[in-house]
Amino acid sequence: MKIGFIGLGNMGAPMAANLAKSHEVTGFDTVAAPEGIALAQSAADAARDADVVITMLPNGDILRQVAAEIHPAMKSGAIHLDCSTVDVESARAVAAQAQGNGLSAIDAPVSGGIGGATNGTLTFMAGGPADAFATVQPLFDIMGQKAVHCGPAGNGQAAKICNNMILGVTMIATCEAFVLADKLGLDRQAMFDVVSTSSGYSWSMNAYCPAPGIGPQSPADNDYQPGFASELMLKDLRLSQMAAEAADADTPMGQAATALYQQFVEEEDGKGRDFSAMLPRFESRHRGS
């Protein structure tokens, strides 16, 4: 399969490298120039004659700009596979634009971070036509371990932001609970042993525990160097609240989590730290502070 890959940053470069082991990949990025991937002079050049064009971009505005450039250059019947995490409205607008140009579009944001991109173990949440999803399934199999077809255009983004809203809320609750346990004199290991096998268990507790030295290895054991940076969590939470406003959905916990991560990233020391660094944040605070 001939593939164009636009956006060769921390996530895109290893994804493209994995694809290049078994497919013809031509990449483009305005800044990065990773080794081992053939590079084009422009996004349109990378897209020209490709069977599938993959984009991995920072936000919806940039996605719309790139789509406007590449869709006229893509051959009829080709597929635009967008793996960025963007707002649902942008994903659906780009899909409609693709259809107007005789193309198919799949929005398939990912979960798994840089490690998952490097190791080919990402999870993809995909929205778009079922036949296009089936066509790109072999690419998902190379880049990841699971791909779920969530329905029509935009539903991949919807699944991603709903999932990460839960993740942001549960991480905050987990960090709060550890600090409360500390202040009540409950040993952290005992806390973990109880909660991880009781009704309070969650991915935030069991697989990504924010307390150093407790549970499986996590960023907490590496001074909170980011596996998933707090500013990326803030981005996804903001997307969830944009979607909630557009859909008239009441999401008070998502709204509260967004406000807390905004404060952590923009007013405190959260930027550049893992999103689980909420635990030392709460350790240094008191009720009402």
Contact assessment for residue 281 and residue 171, using Cβ atoms and an 8 Å cutoff: no
Burial of 30 (0-12, 13-18, 19+ CB in 10 A): exposed
Buried b (16+ CB within 10 A) or exposed e, 142-170: ebbeebebbeebbbbbbbbbbbbbbbbbb
Query: Which DSSP string corresponds to 197-246?
Result: TSTT--HHHHTS-SSTTSSS--GGGGTT--SSBHHHHHHHHHHHHHHHHH
- Amino acid letter for position 51: D
Q: Considering just the CA atoms, what is the radius of gyration of the chain in Å?
A: 20
Task: Report the half-sphere exposure of 29 (CA within 13 A, side-chain side).
Answer: 19
160 given a catalytic annotation: yes
Task: Report the half-sphere exposure of 45 (CA within 13 A, side-chain side).
Answer: 10
Per-residue tokens: 119 = 């190791």
Please state, in angstroms and rounded to a whole number, the distance separating the CA atoms of residues 270 and 252.
22
Closest CA to 81 of 134, 42, 121: 134
Cross-strand partners of 149: 126
Catalytic residue from among 75, 146, 160, 183: 160
Catalytic center residues: 160
